Amino acid sequence: MDKQKLFELEQTYVFRTYRRQPVVFTRGEGCYLFDSEGKRYLDLVAGVAVVALGHSHPQWIEAIKEQAEKLVQVSNLYYTAPMIELAKELCEISRMDRVFFCNSGTEANEAAIKVARKWGKAARGDHCHRILTFSRAFHGRTLGALSATAQKNYCEPFEPLLPGFLQLSPRDIEKVDSVLDASFCGVMIEPVQGEGGVWPVESAFLVGLRKICTEKKILLIVDEVQTGIARTGKWFGFQHADILPDLAPIAKGLGGGFPIGACLARGEAASTLTFGDHGSTFAGAPLAASAAKAVLRVIQEENLVENAQKMGGIFREKLVELAAKHPLIVDVRGLGLMIGVELKEPVAKSLVSKALGEGLIINATGESTLRLIPPLILRKNHVEEAVRILDKVLTPPARP
Ligand SMILES: *Cc1c(COP(=O)(O)O)cnc(C)c1O
């Protein structure tokens, strides 16, 4: 179908919830996407940190094909092998104890919130239901996860939200310590705040949180939905701080493009929910679990944890060099292949459009931050290509 016609139909038939770029993608291969006119783009968004192995990875396709021919879904009324094997692998790479499967990031966070609520009631009674989160946080769009999300524009139209959430700065550990009392059952934090603008949280802060939560018997929830599964150059963001959370919701990269989420849990948090407490029709279905197993296998075989770390370092170095030439760039930050580029002026959206025109897909979080979250298979030649195009779109057109 013609591109203009698709734009029209979308306007007519689809909820007006997304401001889409004016492009129709039809095919992907590795780090590249192709549009309806056959134009090629270097993809540094990767379906929002989802397409970890790049587009159309042969082993991932093979795993899905093979499983689709055998068994796709039977529900959680029965046993299936891929889900159980996946749970074991996830526990091994994370050193967590148990897994609850779901289908998205927001659901993974809902599961964590429910664990914390039930655990708090059992530990200290009904008043122990509050959860501390942090300014600039993003935890999802369903009402529980939304209540944990500090950003006004996401929340205001839907108030009243779930009671019991408080937001503080992710820098002031003393303030956190002074506020956390027996009314709190959980603390929820992203190791690198993603949607909020790619802000890595200091390891010392995470270590401090772990210590306070252990002392005061509060569950530490590390939202690894974006940072998890090798994105930051370790399997999980919390490993940079050498801590273990009580709960770690994951999703985005886990299925490599197939929707699947999970809430990893440890210690008491891993046995808080029991029969009938929580569930999901689709969760952990053989097809989704097989896709995720393929993702974990390829990450191991192709050393993508190390690659994310190495390429992230090279990318940030080149961006810092670019910043020396273009004063519009005032900061380059991030961890592994989760990179934020801060601009002096609120022109992120126009740069995203310009880059698209030049065959580079990047994303803006807010008015003045560019976000780069490419596939984990990124190579040096891709970094060089990206920097070359960024250099071009940052260069003002010569005056006639
Ligand atoms: C994307 C994201 C979510 C929400 O995930 P969905 O799959 O969109 O529901 C939650 N937390 C973090 C940190 C995220 O980046």
In whole angstroms, what is the distance from residue 152 CA to residue 12 CA? 28
Question: How many CB atoms neighbour CB 157 within 10 A?
Answer: 6
Task: Give the three-class secondary structure for 303.
Answer: coil
Confidence of residue 291 (pLDDT cuts 50, 70, 90): very high
Q: Which atom of ligand 1 is nearest to the CA of 141?
A: 9
* Whether 197 contacts 366, CB under 8 Å: yes
What is the structure's pLDDT at 124? 94
What is the structure's pLDDT at 245? 98
CA 301 to chain centre: 22
Instruction: Quick: pLDDT tens for 243-259.
Output: 999 999 999 999 999 99
Q: For 359, which DSSP code?
A: T
Largest CA distance in the chain: 73
Question: How many CB atoms neighbour CB 317 within 10 A?
Answer: 13
What is the structure's pLDDT at 152? 81
Whole-model pTM over 0.85: yes
The residue whose CA has the least distance to atom 8 of ligand 1 is 105
| Among 147, 226, 363, residue to substitute to test ligand 1 (most atoms within 8 Å of Cβ) | 226
What is the structure's pLDDT at 44? 98
Instruction: Quick: pLDDT tens for 333-379.
Output: 999 999 999 999 999 999 999 999 999 999 999 999 999 999 999 99
Ligand 1 centroid to Cα of residue 295, in Å, is 19
CA 118 to chain centre: 25
Instruction: Quick: pLDDT tens for 152-177.
Output: 888 889 999 999 999 999 999 999 99
Q: Which atom of ligand 1 is nearest to the CA of 224?
A: 13
- Environment class of residue 235 by beta-carbon count within 10 Å: exposed (0-12), middle (13-18) or buried (19+)? buried
What is the structure's pLDDT at 399? 73
Ligand 1 centroid to Cα of residue 395, in Å, is 34
Ligand 1 centroid to Cα of residue 250, in Å, is 8
Record the tokens describing residue 126, joined without a space. Answer: 């009904």
| Among 45, 51, 101, 106, residue to substitute to test ligand 1 (most atoms within 8 Å of Cβ) | 106
In whole angstroms, what is the distance from residue 103 CA to residue 373 CA? 21
Q: Which amino acid is at 137?
A: A
Confidence of residue 396 (pLDDT cuts 50, 70, 90): confident
- Percent helix, strand, coil in the chain, to 5, is 45, 20, 40
Q: Ligand 1: residues whose CB is within 6 Å?
A: 104-106, 109, 138-140, 190, 194-195, 223, 225-226, 251-252
Is residue 78 predicted with pLDDT exceeding 80?
Answer: yes
In whole angstroms, what is the distance from residue 188 CA to residue 73 CA? 32
Rg of the chain over all Cα atoms, to the nearest angstrom: 21
Residue 184: name the closest of 151, 159, 149, 221 by CA: 221
Instruction: Quick: pLDDT tens for 309-337.
Output: 999 999 999 999 999 999 999 999 999 99
Backbone angles phi, psi at 334, to 5 degrees: 140, -175
In whole angstroms, what is the distance from residue 343 CA to residue 287 CA? 42
* 134 or 152, higher pLDDT: 134
In whole angstroms, what is the distance from residue 294 CA to residue 225 CA? 18
Is residue 400 predicted with pLDDT exceeding 80?
Answer: no
Angle ∠(120,125,126) on CA atoms, nearest 5:
90
Confidence of residue 397 (pLDDT cuts 50, 70, 90): confident
What is the structure's pLDDT at 247? 98
Confidence of residue 398 (pLDDT cuts 50, 70, 90): confident
User: How long a stretch of residues is the chain?
Assistant: 400
Record the tokens describing residue 7, joined without a space. Answer: 């734009």
Ligand 1 centroid to Cα of residue 72, in Å, is 25
Mean pLDDT of 375-388: 98
* Residue 91: half-sphere exposure toward Cβ, Cα within 13 Å: 15
Q: Which atom of ligand 1 is nearest to the CA of 104?
A: 7
Ligand 1 centroid to Cα of residue 325, in Å, is 34
Record the tokens describing residue 213, joined without a space. Answer: 């939560």
In whole angstroms, what is the distance from residue 123 CA to residue 118 CA? 9
CA-CA-CA-CA torsion sign (202, 203, 209, 212):
negative
Instruction: Quick: pLDDT tens for 205-236.
Output: 999 999 999 999 999 999 999 999 999 999 99
Is residue 1 predicted with pLDDT exceeding 90?
Answer: no
In whole angstroms, what is the distance from residue 65 CA to residue 69 CA? 6
What is the structure's pLDDT at 47? 98
* Whether 256 contacts 294, CB under 8 Å: yes
Task: Give the three-class secondary structure for 78.
Answer: coil
Backbone angles phi, psi at 140, to 5 degrees: 130, 180
pLDDT above 90 covers what percent of the chain?
Answer: 97
Instruction: Quick: pLDDT tens for 21-63.
Output: 999 999 999 999 999 999 999 999 999 999 999 999 999 999 9
